[in-house]
Every structure is written in C-alpha cells, then in structure tokens.
Amino acid sequence: MIEDTGCRGARITGAGYYVPDLVLTNFDFEKIVDTSDEWIVTRSGIRERHMASKDQASSDMAYEASCSALRDAGVQGSDLDLIVVGTVTPDMPFPSTACLLQDRLGAAGAAAFDVNAACSGFIYALTVAQSMVSAGKAQKALVLGVETLTRITDYTDRSTCVLFGDGSGAVVLEPCPRGEGIIGTFMRSDGSKPELLYLPAGGSRKPITAERINNRETFVRMKGDGLFKLAVRMMVEASEFVLNKANMKSSDLNYLIPHQANIRIIKGVKKRLHLSDEQVIVNIDRMGNTSSASIPIAFGEARRKGIFKKGDKILMVTFGGGLTWGAVLFEY
C-alpha cells in the first residue's frame, strides 16, 4: 500500500490508445475450438478482440498510444523525464519495453522502466509515476499499459483463448497543486496463489526447452473460477479504500473504469458500489481482456468521445495475476 504523502499533486494531462486493425470475432473461435458465440458472450461479455500482426510487438503499439497521448497533452517526447510501462508481454526480457519506447520517442532525458503486475500493471505504473511526480522527482511522466497477449495465448485451450486481446493505452502525468488531479491510490498483492494465473516457462525457473514448448508451458494458464471469486471482492476493497481515504463515498463518483476481464465481474463491482450502467465505462465486448492495457484503453476511448467533464470524480480499479489489485481515484 502506498500512502499519498507527496508535497504536490499530479494530474493526467493527456491520453491516447492504440489497438491493432485485425479483429477476431467469437465466430472465428467457433472454427478453431469447441466453443460458441453464445457461451463467450454469456460467460464473459466478449464479442471481439484485436490481434497484433506478426511484425507488431508491444513497443510498436506502445509507440502509437504514446504519440497520441503526447499530442493530446501538447508535450514532446524530448520533454519527458519518466516513462513507466505496465506489461507482462515485453518485446524481450530486457531491455525493457520502456527503454525501447524511450529511444523511439526521442526522450533522451527520461528514466524508463517496466512494471510487471499483470492486469494491475497500469494502475501500479500510474501509482509509481504519481508518487515520483508528487515528490518532485519527475516533471513530465508517460505511463502506459501495453500487452501482446495473443503471443502467449494457447489457441488449443478454449477456456483462455477466447478471452485475450492486444492493445495499448497511455497517459501523460504532470504536476498540479496538491489536492487536485490524483486524489488517492491503492496497491496490494498476494503472492500465495501464483497458480491461478501464470506463464509456466520462459523464466529462470523453467527456461524454454523443446519439451516445455511441446507441453504448451510457454502459454498462459488460468484458473478462471478461482480468480472470479476473488476479483469482485478485491476490486470493491480497493475502491472503498481510496474512497474512504478521500472522505468520499461511491455516490460521489461520476465514473468507474474497471479492468475489463469479465462483464459479470464488472457488474458485480458496479452493484456493490451502487453505481448505474451509465457510470461504468465498458468496452470488453469490443476489446476482450487486454490485461494492463484495458483501463488506459477504456479511459482513452471515453476521453476521446468527450464523455468526461472537468471536475468529474473518476475511479480506476483493477485485479489480476500475482495476485495484484489496486485503484486510482482522480478529479478530471
């Protein structure tokens, strides 16, 4: 948990997102695994998801989202002094995707690093950047969530392959008077249940071998029902924590931007926070689960549509592998 002890505030001054052109519909999955559009829509709320082309890596999608966010904020790449990227699908183990991005953006004066917190990657990255901007250690930060999940998806496993999509979302963070911009943050982890969502091979524990490739250990494994039971509880806990800290109630919120893992999880959180359909930003039907990219894509889309107005109180909340969960509350 991070306490907000900064001496100045930090606010989002620009946002952008990018999703690849290729769209996979539920009907495409009916042709490759034993599933149906009806099952996928009913159980997850997903109708379609985007897929990166063969030559597109995470840093390519991150670059597109970054350019859009920087334009929106009126900031040049060379102005940045911090780049934090949430991802579990970096271009390669190292250099970080943030470093690759730094070079392409011409951000020569920026510190750049990745944060690995699975679906909470963007919220963790935003909290780290907010802490640094508030502490006076950064002036102009670029924060992203980006995933090329289709590269680690097992297209013979119907229980996971229908869920995941690719994309990237970015925001620019700059200083503001204390009390404005980001009002509160919350991060928490529970490392005792790695088996609920993990990628078995490819790290130091199980380096890639032909046998592990044959065993499909280079693809995501997920126990969806185990995660499902925890997701609503953790997302509500994170939401209530930041609201309480800010002396606010859920009735003070204008919008909720939840991680887009499952429409039934989103509805559960909405119900527990007593929010209306109109207050909850949902794009899972068109994007699927894009892990750390889901919240900044949803935010970027809604901002581009002009949904938010100045002064709106917006809560972003997430839950994912690790386990990790967290929330960011801010005034638009």
- Positions annotated as catalytic residues are 119, 259, 289
88 touches ligand UT7 by CB under 6 A: no
Give the contacts of 38 (CB within 8 A, at least 6 positions apart). none
What does residue 198 show for φ and ψ, rounded to 5 degrees?
Answer: -160, 165
Three-state secondary structure readout of 278-316: HHECCCHHHHCECHHHHHHHHHHHHHHCCCCCCCCEEEE
Which amino acid belongs to residue 237?
Answer: E
Residues between 263 and 282 with contacts to ligand UT7, criterion CB under 6 A: 265
320 touches ligand UT7 by CB under 6 A: yes
Among 23, 30, 67, 159, binds ligand UT7 (CB under 6 A): 159
Instruction: Please tell me whether residue 232 adopts helix, strand or coil conformation.
Output: helix
Q: Which is nearer to ligand UT7, 101 or 269 (CB)?
A: 269
- Contact of 284 with 263, CB cutoff 8 Å: yes
Site string for ligand UT7, 104-123 (x = CB under 6 A): ---------------x----
Q: What is the separation of C-alpha 298 from the centre of its chain, rounded to a whole number of angstroms? A: 9
Q: Which is nearer to ligand UT7, 167 or 175 (CB)?
A: 167
- Contact of 166 with 21, CB cutoff 8 Å: no
Among 75, 133, 141, 227, binds ligand UT7 (CB under 6 A): 227
Give the contacts of 8 (CB within 8 A, at least 6 positions apart). 133, 134, 136, 175, 176, 177, 178
184 touches ligand UT7 by CB under 6 A: no
Among 2, 23, 43, 47, binds ligand UT7 (CB under 6 A): 43
Give the contacts of 26 (CB within 8 A, at least 6 positions apart). 35, 36, 37, 40, 41, 46, 47, 48, 162
Q: Which of 249, 269, 250 is nearest to 325 (CA)?
A: 269
323 touches ligand UT7 by CB under 6 A: no
31 touches ligand UT7 by CB under 6 A: no
Q: Which two tokens stand for residue 312?
A: 């709106």
Q: Which is nearer to ligand UT7, 105 or 119 (CB)?
A: 119
Stretch of residues binding ligand UT7 (CB under 6 A), selected from 57-65, 66-74, 220-228, 279-287: 220-228
Using CB positions, name the residue nearest to ligand UT7. 224
CA distance 87 to 196: 18
86 touches ligand UT7 by CB under 6 A: no
39 touches ligand UT7 by CB under 6 A: yes
288 touches ligand UT7 by CB under 6 A: no
Q: Under the phi-then-psi rule, with left for phi > 0, alpha for psi from -120 to 50, and beta for the rest, what region is 54?
A: alpha
Among 216, 224, 240, 272, binds ligand UT7 (CB under 6 A): 224
Among 13, 26, 44, 97, binds ligand UT7 (CB under 6 A): 44
Q: Which is nearer to ligand UT7, 261 or 295 (CB)?
A: 261
Among 261, 275, 281, 315, binds ligand UT7 (CB under 6 A): 261
Please, what is the minimum distance in Å from the beta carbon of residue 161 to ligand UT7? 7
Exposure letters 184-216 (e unless 16+ CB within 10 A, then b): bbbbbeeeeeeebbebbbbeeeeeeeeeeeeee
Among 104, 137, 151, 158, binds ligand UT7 (CB under 6 A): 158
Residues engaged in binding ligand UT7 (CB under 6 A): 35, 39-40, 43-44, 119, 158-159, 162, 224-225, 227-228, 231, 261-262, 265, 289, 320
